[in-house]
Amino acid sequence: MDQNPIQRTDDELLDDARDGSTHAFAELMRRYQGKVAATVVGMLGNCEEANDVGQETFIRFYDALKKFRGDSSIGTYLTRIAINLALNELRRRKRRNFFFTSTDNDRDIPELPSASSTDQYENKELLDKALNRLDGKFRAVITLRLIEGYSTEETAAILHLPLGTVLSRLKRAQEKLHAILTSFKEGSS
């Protein structure tokens, strides 16, 4: 344990974290917080629930340290936890919306921080809004495959789905996204 944690491998840090080293666990969190945040924000949008899910992801990982066998990489394992928690949050949102309907169709779409009106920002805002309209199972595939850049095989492994299911969901998700974005464009004309 005399090495700088930043110079240690994930496996070494994992072993130390299992032995109770909070420094080792903190380093693992530092290494993977960006990946977890990108996954969660891709699923939920930039909102308070995304922060909660991100924190809960690391709490669950900490609780599962002794059980983690290393069949997948730490990044893949954390991504799977984040996706599951985000899907749970999406189900909670759907239940809340069922009981507390609103005439404002965009009520459940999180607001993004204000920024200048550059085309790049507007396009990202529009994409985030469209992603929030997708069902969770489609959003998960789009987030992992197209936003996070996982291969189709990795996406299937993370979601515990057959490859064919991932491919069909990806195709349907892209069609749905295209339709949503087209309706946004027609609505602004």
Residue in 29, 28, 22, 26 with CA at minimum distance from that of residue 10: 28
User: Which pTM value belongs to this model?
Assistant: 0.69
CA distances from 59 to 7, 52, 85, 169 (A): 24, 10, 12, 30
Residue 111 burial by CB count (10 A; 0-12/13-18/19+): exposed, middle or buried?
exposed
User: 10 Å Cβ neighbour count for 87?
Assistant: 18
65 pLDDT above the threshold of 60: yes
Segment 101-132, tens digit of pLDDT: 443 433 333 333 333 434 555 677 788 888 88
User: 10 Å Cβ neighbour count for 50?
Assistant: 21
CA distance 37 to 159: 17
> Are the C-beta atoms of residues 142 and 177 closer than 8 Å to each other?
yes
Residue in 102, 98, 105 with CA at minimum distance from that of residue 129: 105
Instruction: Tell me the mean pLDDT in the region 41-67.
Output: 92
User: 10 Å Cβ neighbour count for 62?
Assistant: 13
Q: Which of 98-102, 116-120, 148-152 has the highest mean pLDDT?
A: 148-152
> Are the C-beta atoms of residues 144 and 150 closer than 8 Å to each other?
yes
Segment 10-48, tens digit of pLDDT: 999 999 999 999 999 999 999 999 999 999 998 998 888
Domains and CATH numbers, the chain: 1-111 (1.10.1740.10), 112-189 (1.10.10.10)
